[in-house]
Amino acid sequence: GARLLRAKLYRAGLGDAVIAQVLDEHGQTGGDAALGKAIEMARRRYEATARLDEPARKRRLYGMLARRGFDTDAINRIMRAVTEGESGV
């Protein structure tokens, strides 16, 4: 996610202007395209955990998205899209 990438670039010593440019060039500004890719990735993970009970599936999905740097609002949108079958975008 954009938040994780931003943090890594900041730790590498890049300034805010450079970070914004890099995020923009790589489509990580939080736009619909990035969210759509995240939803597809989350759907694959959710389907792969079909053997688990529903709360465990949701916990694992939430954790995966959080580790990838998505903020809470984005995670909630992605979770709704995946678990309720919405497009999310």
Per-residue pLDDT tens digits for 25-62: 665 555 566 778 888 999 999 999 999 999 999 999 99
Whether residue 71 is predicted with pLDDT greater than 50 in this model: the reply is: yes
**pLDDT tier, 88 (very low <50, low <70, confident <90, very high otherwise):** very low
Q: Give the C-alpha separation, 54 to 56, whole Å.
A: 5
**In the numeric block, which tokens belong to residue 87?**
């497009």
Share of the chain above pLDDT 90, in %: 35
